[in-house]
Structure 1
């Protein structure tokens, strides 16, 4: 099947083929970079969610302790 994909290049001048090759290499590089950045973003989002859960739990605990101590102070 890959031969059919490459068929459109038949008959193109060498300079054009070279430029196409350079662009294909650049495209592959950009795809790889995008994949790495997406993984990094996903990891950061997961870490953020974990931190939000910790903060929420700590806030809930602080509110609970505050409500338990309020009658003692009043």
Structure 2
């Protein structure tokens, strides 16, 4: 998607949380402070489209999101 975790001031947001706050990184590779993760960090590393589809499937939300996307695409 981009380099948001490397561009300031946005890059500072991820480090502004307390150490006990769960953080989730969804990215092709580990970056930034996730290279030395906190105990409550979670990551989905790899292909973004595949990981999001798997996550939506586990949440039983894939069909709903695909329908939303189809409706939005039909408007444009």
Q: Of Structure 1 and Structure 2, which has the larger fraction of its residues in strand?
A: 2
For normalisation by structure 2, the TM-score amounts to 0.29
Tell me which of the two structures has the higher relative contact order, counting C-alpha pairs closer than 8 angstroms and 6 or more residues apart. Answer: 2
